A and B are shown apart, each in its own frame.
Chain A
Amino acid sequence: DGGITQSPKYLFRKEGQNVTLSCEQNLNHDAMYWYRQDPGQGLRLIYYSQIVNDFQKGDIAEGYSVSREKKESFPLTVTSAQKNPTAFYLCASNTPGSGSGRGEQFFGPGTRLTVL
Chain B
Amino acid sequence: GEDVEQSLFLSVREGDSSVINCTYTDSSSTYLYWYKQEPGAGLQLLTYIFSNMDMKQDQRLTVLLNKKDKHLSLRIADTQTGDSAIYFCAVSGGYQKVTFGIGTKLQVIP
Find out whether the CB atom of A110 lies under 8 angstroms from the CB atom of B42: yes
Instruction: Digitize B80-106: 1 where CB-to-A-CB distance is under 8 Å, 0 elsewhere.
Output: 000000001010101111101111000
Q: How close is B5's CB to chain A, nearest CB, in angstroms?
A: 10
Q: How many residues of B contact A (CB 8 A)?
A: 23
Tell me which residues across on chain B come within 8 A of A55, comparing CB atoms. none
Instruction: Give Cα A43–Cα B101 distance, bound, in whole angstroms.
Output: 8
Asked if B98 and A105 sit within 8 Å, CB to CB, the answer is yes
Proximity bits, B1-34, A CB within 8 Å = 1, else 0: 0000000100000000000000000000001010
Q: Does the CB pair A104–B101 fall under 8 Å? A: no
A8 at the interface (CB under 8 A from B): no
- Say yes or no: A40-B102 contact (C-beta < 8 A), given A106-B45, A107-B44: yes
Q: Does A102 sit within 8 A of B, measured CB to CB? A: yes
- 19 contacting pairs across A/B (C-beta < 8 A): A33-B97, A40-B8, A42-B88, A42-B100, A43-B103, A48-B97, A94-B98, A96-B94, A102-B31, A102-B94, A104-B45, A104-B48, A104-B92, A105-B43, A105-B90, A107-B42, A107-B43, A107-B44, A110-B41
